Copies of this chain bind each other. A is one copy, B any other.
Amino acid sequence: MTTQNITKIALVGFGTVGSSVAKLLHTLNLPNLRLTHIYNRGIAGKRGSAEAAFVPADAIWTEDIEDLLTSDADVIVELMGGLDPAGPWIERALASGKSVVTANKQLIAYQGPALLAKAAATNVHLLHGAAVAGGVPVIPGITQGLGGDQITRISGILNGTCNFILSKMEAGARYSEVLAEAQSLGYAESDPTADVGGFDARAKLCILARIGMHVELDPEQVATQTIALVDAVDFAYAKELGCTIRQVSRVQLSSTSPDSMYARVAPMLVPRESPIAWSHGTQNMVVTTGRFGGDVVFSGHGAGGEATAVAVLSDLLAVSQNSRPVAFPVTPRPVTGDSVAPHYLRFIVDDKPGIVSAIAGALSKVGANIDSIIQRPGYPKNRLAFVVTTEPCLTSTIAEAVESMGKMDCMLEPPLSLQILVIDDKDEPTA
């Protein structure tokens, strides 16, 4: 442990996380860490904010990034978000021999290996523990503690906003109401697409695949499915099937396409005994499945300024003590969102004779077998919601059938098709 050297810290971005980092640095008063610079646009407003009270009086506030990049700061802490200008600024910092700590999952998902190579070239640190699951130490736990296993699958609840929405819906709320509530609580953005559409989670999934499975995936190729089409009626049917519904992010070796990885971020039916179903509210959870160590579960509050700042400060301690993570070579791998799984199909129809047989026909035409047909009482005949579950079958096959069924006259909405998670031996550490 360095005891003499002071690590000088320059913050890029004084928003939710950035101001919490200042607060934690002030409150924890960790040895050898000193906040020296703060960059943001509109710095007058930031400097006048309540959070500014945590910033040392002698720190330099600036709207000019050059003031940081050319300073004597040892570490740039990037908490601004976005690919540009964050990416080029981080590159410059690394090239000039400054270490970087960031919570920027998109940047790390897209450009992680290139940036890590730049950090290696100048022998500095690039740490991003806050980029997945915020304050839950999934990245350090996997990197330092599971390198000795062969991780065959990673499943996670990686987006707190979606989990908040879906667990509130499980308890009876409607999608639109709970989205509005999440927005008013500051959990969801005014444009919620990145969260509900799965784009935030897929960046994190790619990072996890890299650090845990040593494969490099193109985030754009990871299949996503929005949670916005999940309805109260789906929770009622899921319950009958012993399940709940969560936005699940999952990566594993593809069983259908050799050398590819199956990766998908989508609302899925999750059996209630699965640890994945335990997650409530804004909680994050990651379950790794190892060939030798079995399932390991990490969970906790993934988001929020202070929880995320914990991960940033932990990374800063590592930088200041020159504690370097274990590294692995990574291999680029193609991705498919297709896998063999039982599926849940929900139909909203204007009930007429022959509908079930038409649906059964469409499924049998693609070779999918029906496992169950469920119709809860109480829905009006002219807007009837019912569900078909299938035996394990390719998602692409089901999609083909769903497309043809969607054209049936009786369909009042496009059918909703969700994968059903299966608990296999290795997937069930606890029940």
Contact = CB atoms under 8 A, between A and B. Distances in A.
What are the 10 closest A-B residue pairs judged by CB atoms, nearest first?
Answer: A137-B145, A148-B313, A140-B144, A141-B141, A135-B293, A296-B300, A140-B145, A148-B314, A293-B310, A292-B306
Interface in A157-206: none
B283 A429 contact: yes
B146 A137 contact: yes
Interface stretch (A37-45, A61-69, A316-324, A414-422): A316-324
Given A146-B310, A148-B317, A323-B325, A141 B298 contact: yes
Interface stretch (A273-281, A332-340, A347-355): A273-281
A314 B299 CA distance: 21
Interface string A124-156: 000001000001111111111111111000000
A281 B299 CA distance: 20
A312 interface: yes
A295 B299 CA distance: 8
B299 A430 contact: yes
Contacts of A144: 129, 137, 140-141, 143-144, 314, 318, 323, 325
A28 B139 CA distance: 21
Contact of A135 (B143, B149, B309, B325): B149
Nearest to A20: B292
A229 interface: no
Nearest to A292: B306
Interface residues of A, number: 63
Interface in A1-31: 1, 20, 24, 28, 30
A294 interface: yes
B321 A293 contact: no
A140 B144 CA distance: 6
Contacts of A326: 1, 314, 317-318, 321, 323
B279 A430 contact: yes
| Residue of A143, A275, A281, A315 most packed against chain B (CB within 10 A) | A143
A4 to B, nearest CB: 14
Contacts of A140: 140-141, 143-145
A295 B300 contact: yes
A116 to B, nearest CB: 11
A266 interface: no
A307 interface: yes
A315 B138 CA distance: 17
8 contacts: A20-B292, A129-B145, A135-B292, A136-B293, A136-B296, A140-B140, A144-B314, A296-B299
A301 interface: yes
B295 A301 contact: yes
A431 interface: yes
A271 interface: no
A317 B142 CA distance: 13
A327 interface: yes
